[in-house]
Amino acid sequence: MEFFNLVLHLFIISFSLNNLLEYDNNNNKII
């Protein structure tokens, strides 16, 4: 169960980071 939770959290974190990167790229706020 701990391993499953670890993978689940990693997936959620990576998904969130991808969304943030796409948001920044679309708005050209990161130079």
pLDDT at site 24: 60
* pLDDT less than 50: residues of the chain: none
pTM of this prediction?
0.55
pLDDT at site 23: 61
pLDDT at site 17: 80
pLDDT at site 12: 92
Cα 23 to Cα 9: distance, rounded to the nearest angstrom = 21
Residue located via tokens 């679309």: 26
Contacts of 30 (CB under 8 A, 6+ apart): 24
User: Which tokens sit at 12?
Assistant: 């959620």
